[in-house]
Structure 1
């Protein structure tokens, strides 16, 4: 897993790590850390050839095997998006309440998202919508570019 070294650096010891097969391409996992005792869902962002930013999918199957956004009521306390792009690396650590506020997680009042782009500080030349997204995302970004990971 490309994301594991950054995750271990940030969160130290995992009590448990369960891989999410439906999002295997994005290294989907849910893990528990002991100090403090919280669950975290992680994904690896993927650079795409035609658009700036890093694409991430996060969804689950419902009872009829249709894809749906993760539900807030049973989601972990944090959503972590790991970015690795040669010497540029870091992670977005988004608390559950922010994921609800930004309509990433579904609730009874909102649909949620099954995928989106993430824009670390080195992404530039963005359109207005992407700039607006980057602005709130950067509040949750931790840069590891200058580390030996």
Structure 2
């Protein structure tokens, strides 16, 4: 099974031109509808997902759970993934949220100690507008970790390179 088209497109137009070469790509068949896979980049383990548009709410929804002993659980700060990359793609734009796990811990998305994280979150790229206050607060912190790609051109993205090197 090939990787999700958003992963392949981002690799072609952004990662490779930026000198970043995903390797050890492993598709997670249980969450294939979210393009779930892991890969390594400069010896860092990356968990990748694609956000899905839902009919009743703005933004994109993505699952971030893992199965442990038959049960679904949020990711934990001690898990081996260093970054969580979520692609979003619609008629308006294409880009990726690149979150170091410490950022997701700060926003209670992944677990630590006795505090349980979340199994999924809603993401709001910069082009999503007319949000309620809570969604706007989420968009504000999320967009600090967002890179918009141009689907029509391969570009060296300094911000993409820096996103993976500044942690």
Q: TM-score, normalised by structure 1?
A: 0.90
Q: Which residue of 1 aligns with 2:39?
A: 31
Q: Which residue of 1 aligns with 2:98?
A: 93
Aligned residues: 145
1:58-137 alignment to 2 at 5 Å? Answer: 58-63=64-69, 65-137=70-142
Q: TM-score, normalised by structure 2?
A: 0.81
Work out the CA distance in 1 between the residues paired with 2:71 and 2:6. Answer: 27
Q: Which runs of 5+ in 2 are unaligned?
A: 154-167
Answer yes or no: is 1:148 the counterpart of 2:156.
Answer: no
Cα RMSD for the two superposed structures: 1.5
Residue by residue over 1:31-75, the C-alpha shift from the partner in whole angstroms, topping out at 9 and shown as x without a partner, is 012xx3211111000111111000001111121x12111122114
Work out the CA distance in 1 between the residues paired with 2:140 and 2:83. Answer: 19
Work out the CA distance in 2 between the residues paired with 1:117 and 1:128. Answer: 14
Q: Which residue of 1 aligns with 2:163?
A: none
Runs (4+) of structure 1 moved beyond 6 Å?
A: none
Secondary structure, aligned partner of 2:78:
helix
